Amino acid sequence: MSNIKLSTCCSCGFQWPTSQHGEHSCSSYLRAENANLKIEIAELKTENKKERDYSDFLESSAENFLAAREALRKKVGELKADRSRLNYLDKLNTEFNERNGTQYGWKIDWNHNRIALIDSCPMQRTVREAIDEQAMKRSKPHDNS
């Protein structure tokens, strides 16, 4: 019987000798196959939703990262500009001292009429040191000078 040529149903896989009638019913196989396909579709939908949610999360994270990076770039730019301004003041003071043969540094002068950054302090402080000194004084309770 190994030489018998068989035909196969493309829906359910049922086989019969090619020369004979292959009448059969695929309905029980197709019902089971439909149920399996519905389960597989539900699983794929769940997996697809998880992937979409993760994709949305990644996109949101990327947007947040870019926004944070831009904020940091802006802050670094501001800090560099502040550094340049403070360096410029120290450079002006150095040039003034060289031109006039003096040795003045910076000081913050605080009194009842004004607050001023002055460059006539004989202590030869940089502008940063003068600001830090005043900040330390201000952090002590009840001391304005």
Span 90-115, pLDDT tens digits: 999 999 999 999 999 999 998 999 99
Residue from 8, 37, 6, 36 nearest 24 by CA: 8
Supply 134's token pair: 């005043």
The Cα 68–Cα 62 span in angstroms is 10
**Dihedral Cα 119, 121, 126, 130, nearest 10 deg:** -100
CA separation for the pair 139, 131 (Å, rounded): 12
Q: Residue 114: what are its φ and ψ, rounded to 5°?
A: -165, 170
Q: Model-level pTM greater than 0.75? A: no
Q: Is the pLDDT of residue 44 over 80?
A: yes
